[in-house]
Structure 1
Amino acid sequence: MTTVSIIGSGKMAGAIAEVASRAGFGIQIIKRSATSASAARPGLEYGVMGDELTGDLVVLAVPSGAYAGIAELYRDQLAARVVVDISNPIDFSTYDELTSPPDSSTAAELAAMLPPGSAVVKAFNVNLGDTLTSGTNGTTPTTVLYAGDYADAKTAVAALIEAAGMRAVDVGPLTRARELEAMGFLQIILAALGKTRYESGLALLP
């Protein structure tokens, strides 16, 4: 059985855990500490930062500012794994801009932090948590856009998405993560301004 380690315990961690549960994957939640609150499903395998990762896929459901510390702590364990970056690097003090370099992305920065053998895939950042939890966007299955440089890694992420009943769309190499982050930024801003709801999202029709 394929397994997923989710680092983080907030709303998006809970949403990814729901996706993995629908897909029939084993789930490990890594929290910052044993007392950290968790939005994930009850009855899952839990650990704390520093515990061994058990997942074939590792999803970073934490702010991108935490990536350097995670990359250092888990450097050896991430060397042979698919690492999924779901972040949207927004300046939440102003809601006015992305904080990643204009010619890069958090996914590219993460890839540079990790050892050879790691494969970073950008995914789920264009989706608000509610549409992942429900698996639907209005009356259509939720579409998850993803990008990466390694075919096997992207196949593994697409398998998770599709097994959970959603539509997986490969948008290209990891350089496309910049555009995905801009799309995620726009969705969050629209929801924050009340122009859309947090239960809504962009739908890519066939």
Structure 2
Amino acid sequence: MTSVSIIGAGGMARAIAGVAKNAGADLQVVSRDPTEARRVTTELGAGTPGTLGDPLTGEIVVLALPFSAATEVAGQQREALAGRIVVDITNPVNFATFDALVVPTDSSATAAIQEAAPEAKVVKAFSTTFAATLERGTLSGAPLAVLVAGDDDGARRAVIDLANAAGLRGVDAGNLKRARELEALGFLQMTLAASGGTTWDGGFALVGP
């Protein structure tokens, strides 16, 4: 059975915890505020809550945090993350201008997290889905697509399998270099929702076999 640890307790953390629950995975949710972690597991009726710094139990560790916090935690927890699959969900948006990504044009948030935790198997996933859409699990009547990118083939496969087991559609998006395009796609989705071009429970549908 797959085991998943989620670091964070916000909307995306709760949505991804629901994915883990639906996939039948053993679930741990940790946060700087243990009360918030307990709230997530209580609402789901599944999982073990904890405090950031507690031993991680998951083979897959999801950094359900903003970019700067995810990079900081990856560095602080680098020994604990060594050898584990680490999922970066961030879109590194410049929230002061809401007009650009804050990482270099030839890099990505995922690459920065991989650098902070070099012995982890870092993948990008869940960055092109809103929390409300992820909780629903479908888009236009079809299973929601979860695009997964990273350099470790086994790590990508494990996250794809987790998504599929939860009734979603895991899609292999290629190596870690593709994280940049996924972040740009997530950013575009955010700007469309913010401008009213779409909604915060919508998204892009992947059509095809």
TM-score bucket of the superposed structures, by smaller chain: over 0.9
Q: Distance in 2 between matches of 1:39 and 1:124?
A: 22
C-alpha contact 1:143 1:167 (8 A) present in aligned 2 = yes
Q: Which runs of 5+ in 1 are unaligned?
A: none
Which whole-Å deviations, capped at 9, do the CAs of 1:147-194 have from their partners, x for residues lacking one? 011111011101100001111111111000000000000001111111
> Is 1:79 paired with 2:76?
no
Partner residue of 1:141 out of 140, 143, 148: 143
Q: Kindly provide the amino acid, as one letter, of the partner of residue 47 in structure 1.
A: G
Q: Equivalent residue of 1:145, what SS?
A: strand
Counterpart of 2:28 in structure 1 is 28
Q: Kindly provide the amino acid, as one letter, of the partner of residue 145 in structure 1.
A: L
Residues 1-206 of structure 1 mapped to structure 2, 5 A cutoff: 1-36=1-36, 40-42=40-42, 43=45, 44-116=47-119, 118-206=120-208
Deviation at 1:73, TM superposition (A): 2.5
Q: Distance in 2 between matches of 1:144 and 1:186?
A: 16
Q: Kindly provide the amino acid, as one letter, of the partner of residue 14 in structure 1.
A: R
Give the TM-score normalised by structure 1: 0.95
C-alpha contact 1:147 1:174 (8 A) present in aligned 2 = yes
Which whole-Å deviations, capped at 9, do the CAs of 1:75-117 have from their partners, x for residues lacking one? 211111000000001112221111111110000111111133x
Deviation at 1:37, TM superposition (A): 7.1
Q: Equivalent residue of 1:155, what SS?
A: helix
Worse-matched range after superposition: 127-136 or 178-187: 127-136
Higher helix share: 2
RMSD: 1.4
Sequence identity, in percent? 49
C-alpha contact 2:34 2:51 (8 A) present in aligned 1 = yes
Which whole-Å deviations, capped at 9, do the CAs of 1:37-78 have from their partners, x for residues lacking one? 776341421111111101010000001101333123212111
